[in-house]
Amino acid sequence: MMMKIVTSLLLLGVILYEAGGDYVLPKPSYTEVKVPRFQNATLPCEFSFIEGTTDMSFIWHREDIVEEIEVEDVYAYMQQKFEFKEPQVVYSFHDNHEALEDQSYAYQERVSVEKEEVGDGVLTLYLHRVDYQDEGLYTCSAIGPHGKGEIKLNLLIQEEEEPPVVMDTEDDAAVARCHSAGWYKVPIVTWYNRREEEISENATIMVLEEKEDGSHRISSTLSGVKSHEIYHCHIRDAKKARRARTVHRKLKKGALRDHGEF
């Protein structure tokens, strides 16, 4: 009986979707924070109702970004499983003290807030050395004697790492060097000048370290440089990154009309 009810509700949702756009809820829009891989992320959060830390609590937690894909198969749409994932606790604070008992292991010793600013309502989260698994929807929730509030941010990790560039000399000639912070299976290094013109043809790559899985930390040297110029080094992996996503199937419009049983 329950299965029939669930199926009926799914079909009702599909029919409403097919009938027109009036029944389709708009997707929520969140502020995006984009950070290069292995850099530090700053997730801003501030509330004016906070006046001191006594009887005040706030928490940061993370959820996967939901990605929708269109399908034409009605049965594939109906048979998808919506698994509830408990949000990860990134950081929490309660009544003058950090409360990290439930903090996710992935964020231990990687996050911080400016504790002296909490009483003024500044709850900004600093996340160190971000990678693809850190991508997600971050929620900052606070409650105190004078109110409550919530802010949501989408943290997106850019594929390219941009390590610092150091000027050096090699064989009495000026060179620019950069060293990767991350590990790459097939590293691709691209160099740019201040005008964002690519100048990678004068660059070489050297392996600094190698893991058993075949990934490397690398160094790149750019020759033919000028002391007054500014250079940028970008490193990415040729292998496509696996990102943390929750995928939902969305029925393509017209699929029901093309399906003989409905």
**Which amino acid would we find at residue 172?**
D
- Assigned domain for 254 exists: no
> Which residues are 67's β-sheet partners?
247
Q: Contact, 60 vs 90, CB < 8 A?
A: yes
Confidence (pLDDT) at 67: 59
Same structural domain, 141 and 172? no
Same structural domain, 137 and 47? yes
Confidence (pLDDT) at 241: 61
Same structural domain, 144 and 226? no
What CATH number corresponds to the domain at position 172? 2.60.40.10
What are the average pLDDT values for consecutive 10-residue runs of the chain, which has 262 residues?
40 41 52 89 96 94 72 57 75 92 93 95 95 92 95 90 94 94 91 95 95 92 93 88 56 54 47
Same structural domain, 148 and 216? no
Structure tokens at 176: 């620019």
Selection from 232, 179, 231, 234 nearest residue 207 by Cα: 179
Same structural domain, 145 and 64? yes
- Assigned domain for 126 exists: yes
Cα angle 148, 151, 153; round to 5: 165
Chain Cα centroid distance, residue 246? 13
Instruction: Please state the pTM of the whole predicted model.
Output: 0.66
Confidence (pLDDT) at 58: 97
Same structural domain, 154 and 31? yes
- Assigned domain for 187 exists: yes
Q: Which domain holds residue 145?
A: 27-159+244-249
Cα angle 129, 211, 133; round to 5: 35
Same structural domain, 190 and 129? no
Same structural domain, 123 and 190? no
Same structural domain, 151 and 177? no
Query: Strands 245-251, 65-71: parallel, antiparallel or unpaired by DSSP?
Result: parallel
Q: Classify burial at 196, counting beta carbons within 10 Å of its beta carbon; exposed 0-12, middle 13-18, buried 19 or more.
A: exposed
Alpha carbon distance 198, 207 (integer Å): 22
Confidence (pLDDT) at 221: 97
Q: Contact, 160 vs 235, CB < 8 A?
A: yes
- Assigned domain for 97 exists: yes
Confidence (pLDDT) at 18: 43
Same structural domain, 34 and 139? yes
Same structural domain, 36 and 154? yes
Confidence (pLDDT) at 38: 84
- Assigned domain for 20 exists: no
Same structural domain, 177 and 233? yes
What total of structural domains would you count in the chain?
A: 2
Confidence (pLDDT) at 240: 66
